Amino acid sequence: MAGERVDAEKAAEMVGGLRRMFESGRTKEYEWRMAQLKSIARLIDEKEKEIMEALREDLGKPEIESYLHEISMAKSACTFALKQLKIWIKPEKVRSSVTTYPSTAEIVSEPLGVVLIISAWNYPFLLSLEPLIGAIAAGNVAVLKPSEVAPSTSSLFAKLLPEYIDESCIKVVEGGIPETTALLEQKWDKIFYTGNGKVGRIVMTAAAKHLTPVVLELGGKSPVIVDSNVDLKVAAKRIAVGKWGCNSGQACIAPDYIITTKSFAKELVDSLKITLERFYGKDPLESKDLSRIVNYNHFSRLTSLLDEKYVSDKIIYGGKRDEKQLKIAPTLLLDVPHDSVIMKDEIFGPLLPIITVDKVEDSFAFINSKTKPLAAYLFTKNKKLEEQFVKNVSAGGLLINDTVLHLANPYLPFGGVGESGTGSYHGKFSFEAFSHKKAVLSRGFGGEAKARYPPYTPAKQKILRGLLNGNIMALILALLGWPRE
């Protein structure tokens, strides 16, 4: 069955039907959640070839990259949720206070209701499924809107998801701007959007009309600080694979630019050149291990960055492009102007500027002069510099001596800060992103304290003040029925 194409009227009808399903209580049942998660895991196993083919058609992804960065990570997220769900849904017992004694207190995780997930094109399989896994684990009904920029993967979801999971509670809507606009006009209980800041603002504006909470997974210019005190061969490989081995730089946490010292720049550049030739050969445009640019518009955007005045002469490696293949070779640029477009906007492609500073500590001020990135990286053996980095650099996530791998730890939240996003997910954080933490306090009919009721005599006020200040004697007196009336 193909994914639904909706206008405002059809979207309203669909959301109404989903809300009725949610109110029936079906999705709140532990058994329903587990059944859906098991079916998603089975889909990933049984349809691996079709998934890889869709990713190849959309992005020219090498099979190993599709498996490592999308298929295996989606499967891991699903497996983790299956193992942890019983723990996640268990009410969390918390302490009571003197003022509520005797009582018991707990925090209950409840599903939010009807949620909308708008996915991105660069990792179209993973970035659709992982939030959906969180929404299902939390007990919601959901609409998934895959990106139209990755049409093969979008069509694959529209075809396969209804075959595996409960179609009455989980819908797939295909289409572009008109369909997304129609969806955003509806009242949701949560909107989860992955993409860029421009559309993120549109999503947040639409959500504000209904006071709908949002998670915005955006991006930003993720910096890499490289100290001279490093294992340079290892650092160069980890930077290169994080940049060009992640969808040819079309990743929200791919290194966007490097900062290093003037004295160390040549050594670093030489090591990166050697590494890139080892990875992709003398003619990287012919490499089967390098993804293509997603479409002509993005290809044109990236080439315009290279062709900007005062930037093109800063290319020190690469720069070749093939419009027919939509490929751009891994490209290094040294000391581009700070006010150039390539240093203002997120690059989202295989271009890597290198900025030099007098001393490595100067890089902190440079990073903090820009909007907060989704990720920031540091390569060093200097523990004091590492501590300064963690203390002084604000980003969605930090990683020392590697790139992008923090994404793979389900015990860490993944999300942005400031203009790189709001909210987080992965592992239990995905479950929490689609849950409400409901406070529950329970008391019996004993333990009456007369002091809490009018009329408020001076003696009662004294006991109440003692209770509010945590005075045990005041509690004892209150429970004994003092003051006597």
Residues marked active site are found at 217, 252
Short-list 27, 397, 36, 85, CA closest to 219 = 397
Pair 239, 258: CB distance under 8 Å: yes
Cβ contacts of residue 142 below 8 Å, gap of 6+? 18, 114, 115, 116, 117, 132, 135, 136, 169, 170, 171
State how far Cα 346 lies from the chain centre.
Answer: 16
Residue tagged 């429970």 (tokens): 479
Rounded alpha-carbon distances, angstroms, from residue 326 to 285, 302, 323, 447? 9, 11, 5, 74
Helix (H, G, I), strand (E, B) or coil at 456: coil
Matching residue, tokens 């005075």:
471
Q: What distances in angstroms separate CA 463 from CA 251, 443, 469, one per listed residue?
A: 61, 20, 10
* Spatial strand order in the sheet of 141-145: 170-172, 141-145, 114-118, 190-194, 214-217, 421-422
Residue 162: CA atoms inside 13 Å, Cβ hemisphere, count?
A: 14
Q: Which residues contact 250 (CB under 8 A, 6 or more apart)?
A: 59, 122, 291, 293, 294, 298, 348, 349
CA–CA separation, 120 and 126 (whole Å)? 9
Q: In a 10 Å sphere around its CB, with 0-12 CB exposed, 13-18 middle and 19+ buried, how is residue 458 labelled?
A: exposed
Tokens of 432: 């929490």
Cα 68 to the center of its chain, rounded Å:
17
Q: Would you state the structure tokens that stand for residue 355, as one six-digit string?
A: 């900025």
> Going edge to edge, which strands form the sheet with 397-400?
315-317, 331-334, 351-357, 257-261, 223-226, 375-379, 397-400
Helix 30-46 and helix 48-59, axial crossing angle in degrees, nearest 10:
70
Q: Residue 279 to residues 88, 154, 242, 421: CA-CA distances in angstroms?
A: 42, 31, 12, 32
